[in-house]
Structure 1
Amino acid sequence: MILNMPRLLKHPRCKDFFRASRNPMILESVTLSAKNSNLLSGNVTKILKSLRKRSFYKAIEIVSDIGNLTEQNEILQILYSATVYTENNHYANLLKLWIDDIYIKKIPNSNKFITQDSFNTTYQYNVIIKLGFEYKEPPIKKEPLW
């Protein structure tokens, strides 16, 4: 007798997940931006690269091992804020949430009132996070027969 048991397959987008192959999967993603000027060290960019294609919980574990507490707290705050936004507004499940891409984008600040010299250009730094999650539509409530 052969039972049709779901097989565990590697998740198509994330290094850390395995999923059962029986259920169809709808992948969604959300791109968020966080303005931050405190994350400028080379260590932070290396850490952010290691978070790509990782599950949310594995990313939190990696960030928790950072020695510099200000960098650790800044990255954790950004990750938690993005996750709470995704969970509340897109009905994402934390167990099926991963960081698809994360990087720092340097944007020149062109405000002439702040910079008096045209030669001194200040920069604004944004942390761009693309979160992926498995989306299941909420079940439809059946109408009673009575």
Structure 2
Amino acid sequence: MRNAWIWIPILPLYLGSLGEPVMGQPRPLRMMDLRRPFARNLRELNLSDEQLRQLQQIRHRKQEELLERILELRAARGRLRELLVGDAPESEVAAQFQRVQQLTQEVNAKRFEAVLEMRQVLSSEQRQHLLKILEEAAPF
């Protein structure tokens, strides 16, 4: 069984982190990753090669879909910071804040779609075990 590199966007989504994902190609776990309890425990899911392949495909496809929105969100946040420290009218600052909120919501919705797709790849037992791993990593 290959290493379960798939800490994918599942962990941040379940834990409520809305940080931006690192874009790029999926990579196998490194030795330093294996010291992390979550990554180490993912191997306990006993994912098949086919499940790993499907999860990797979902992750890659969703990252591509997210890239443009995430870059737009970063730019919008930067613009908001500029407006806040500048002399812009409150209406312009408020409009930019609404844009940041809208983009954040779109990014989070795309991430949730990825979780739902990935969930379908896992068996019921694997999902239950994943929940246990996530709760041990950071209790709700």
TM range (shorter): under 0.3
Tell which structure's C-alpha radius of gyration is larger.
1
Compute the TM-score of the two structures, normalised by the length of structure 1.
0.27
Compute the TM-score of the two structures, normalised by the length of structure 2.
0.27
Question: Which fold has the larger relative contact order, with Cα–Cα distance below 8 Å and residues 6 or more apart in sequence?
Answer: 2
